[in-house]
Amino acid sequence: MSRTMARGSVRFRLTAVFGFMFFLAGGAVFTGAIILVGNSMEYTLQLPFPASLRPGPEKVRPVPHETGGPAVPSALPRIVIDAASRETVLASMRANLTVKGGLTVLAVGAAATTMGWLATGRLLRPLNRITSTAERVAGRTLQQRIGLDAPPGEVKRLADSFDSMLDRLDQAFAGQDRFIVNAAHELKTPLAVGRTLVEVAVARPTASADVKQLGENLLAVNERHERLIDALLTLARAENAATDRLPVDLKEVAGAVVQLMDQEIRSKGLRTRLTAKPAPVAGDPLLLEQMIRNLVDNAVKYNLAGGELDIRTSTTVAGAYLSVGNDGVPVAAHEIPVLFEPFRRLTDRVGSTGGSGLGLSIVRAFAHTHHGDAVALPRAEGGLTVTVTLPCAP
């Protein structure tokens, strides 16, 4: 049964209520009609009828003369139907009325229920638009609006209120993104100045070994902070990133990313298994490359030394997908949702502090930008498999 025919849908329930009320009212009217007609027929059959209305021999009943003289035959002889005949006529009438009237009520009820289904669907069409818009908004597209063009009423007020709420939410998120971008830019300036000062101090001929060691540590910390700020900028831009819808094959992008990160993968002694099948999508090539790079980089950082890096691309009925799996310690299913939140990572368990905790957040943000999604599942032997699913290219 389709979703619109589900028992919980408003359209189905309204149609069921209308149909039940019609059959209830029709049954009451039908029952009253049978009673009224039966009483009327019973009363009528008790009256004397002219003999001319009934075939057979006439029975003349004497009528007294008005002047008190002898009785004379009536000008219009009358008859009285006996009780057995009257009961037969009443039973035949009731049976005929019950069958034909019942069929009529059922036919009209079915037609009325069908018309109620059609009318309810038309009346609920604005609510379906509101529901569709809400579903698109749930997919992180705050630019969607209902824009219901209808006469003033309850549904119109609901649609306008929903649009106003979306406007305020859009402005709030836009202001938050602007704040993150501005703060990140303001933070990058002193970091760049500090890196320059440290590099100059370390490069001096008179710099001691302790100063050089301290400078290298400061440069490493500075570099990590710069990567963190860059990740914040990427995450802030990912939600509302304008994408050029160009044909892209995830197979080719994944292969290019693996080649670019080959040295880093080899340095950790990882075994790479790339099972690449065509996975055509429509999107921004640069954003998709960055998404896959973040996903692979995250899998490499949190992999075990000498572990496996399993990368697959293909298509299913749900769309084109890219999955990246890595070895690691077992991860509980209830811990996976928080990994997609900013700054959430399994640092204590994995023992890696090289990440910023934004890798999977950026991956999911880019997936949502391309009208897709990213999910993670724990592997039986330990580690995670993260799968990004995007709509196939038309």
Please, which residues bridge with residue 279 across strands?
A: none
- 234 and 250 share a domain? no
- 198 and 289 share a domain? no
- 229 and 271 share a domain? no
Q: Residues 326, 310: contact at Cβ < 8 Å?
A: yes
- The structure tokens listed for 329 are 């310690």
CATH code assigned at 265: 3.30.565.10
Residue 149 domain-assigned (yes or no): no
Whether the model pTM is above 0.75: no
pLDDT of residue 389: 92
Q: How many domains does the chain have?
A: 3
User: Which of 106, 123, 140 corresponds to the end of one domain?
Assistant: 123
Which domain covers residue 210, as residue numbers? Answer: 154-238
- The structure tokens listed for 175 are 């202001």
pLDDT of residue 244: 64
Please, which residues bridge with residue 174 across strands?
A: none
pLDDT of residue 320: 92
CATH code assigned at 187: 1.10.287.130
As a whole number, mean pLDDT of residues 214-230 equals: 79
- 338 and 319 share a domain? yes
pLDDT of residue 314: 92
Residue 70 domain-assigned (yes or no): yes
- 305 and 214 share a domain? no
- 229 and 266 share a domain? no
User: Which long-range contacts link 308-311 to residues 24+ away (Cβ below 8 Å)?
Assistant: 308/270, 308/271, 308/272, 308/273, 309/265, 309/270, 309/271, 309/272, 309/273, 310/273, 310/275, 310/385, 311/254, 311/258, 311/272, 311/273, 311/274, 311/275, 311/276
pLDDT of residue 3: 46
Residue 139 domain-assigned (yes or no): no
- 189 and 294 share a domain? no
Residue 261 domain-assigned (yes or no): yes
Give the residue among 372, 394, 376 at the shortest CA–CA distance from 386.
376
Least confident piece of the model among 3-17, 310-324, 331-345: 3-17
Q: Which of 7-16, 138-147, 307-316 has the highest mean pLDDT?
A: 307-316
As a whole number, mean pLDDT of residues 34-55 equals: 64
Residue with tokens 């769309």: 319
3-state secondary structure the chain: CCHHHCCCCHHHHHHHHHHHHHHHHHHHHHHHHHHHHHHHHHHHHCCCEEHHHCCCCCCCCEECCCCCCCCEECCCCEECCCHHHHHHHHHHHHHHHHHHHHHHHHHHHHHHHHHHHHHHHHHCHHHHHHHHHHHHHHCCCCCCCCCCCCCCCHHHHHHHHHHHHHHHHHHHHHHHHHHHHHHHHHHHHHHHHHHHHHHHHHHCCCCCHHHHHHHHHHHHHHHHHHHHHHHHHHHHHHCCCCCCCEEEEHHHHHHHHHHHCHHHHHHCCCEEEEEECCCEEEECHHHHHHHHHHHHHHHHHCCCCCCEEEEEEEEECCEEEEEEEECCCCCCHHHHHHHCCCCCCCHHHHCCCCCCCCHHHHHHHHHHHCCCEEEEEECCCCCEEEEEEECECC
Q: Residues 316, 336: contact at Cβ < 8 Å?
A: no
- In this model, does residue 353 exceed pLDDT 50? no
Residue 253 domain-assigned (yes or no): yes
Q: How confident is the model at residue 338 (pLDDT cuts 50, 70, 90)?
A: confident
Residue 75 domain-assigned (yes or no): yes
133-155, pLDDT tens digit by residue?
A: 766 665 555 666 666 666 666 67
Q: How confident is the model at residue 102 (pLDDT cuts 50, 70, 90)?
A: confident
- In this model, does residue 349 exceed pLDDT 50? no
CB atoms within 10 A of CB 287: 21
- 196 and 260 share a domain? no
Residue 148 domain-assigned (yes or no): no
- In this model, does residue 313 exceed pLDDT 90? yes
Give the residue among 283, 233, 272, 274 at the shortest CA–CA distance from 254.
274
Average confidence score pLDDT of the chain: 76
- 18 and 63 share a domain? yes
162-203, pLDDT tens digit by residue?
A: 778 777 877 777 777 777 777 777 777 888 888 888 888 888
- 102 and 169 share a domain? no
- In this model, does residue 58 exceed pLDDT 90? no
User: Which of 71, 105, 123 corresponds to the end of one domain?
Assistant: 123
Residue 190 domain-assigned (yes or no): yes
pLDDT of residue 310: 92
Q: Return d(Cα 346, Cα 339) in angstroms, integer.
A: 8
- 256 and 383 share a domain? yes
pLDDT of residue 239: 58
User: Which of 204, 238, 272 corresponds to the end of one domain?
Assistant: 238
- 227 and 264 share a domain? no
As a whole number, mean pLDDT of residues 5-31 equals: 77
Residue 61: phi and psi, rounded to 5, are -110, 130
Residue 303: phi and psi, rounded to 5, are -95, 160
- The structure tokens listed for 91 are 């039973």
Interhelix angle for 10-45 vs 83-123, to 10°?
160
Residue predicted with more confidence, 12 or 80: 12
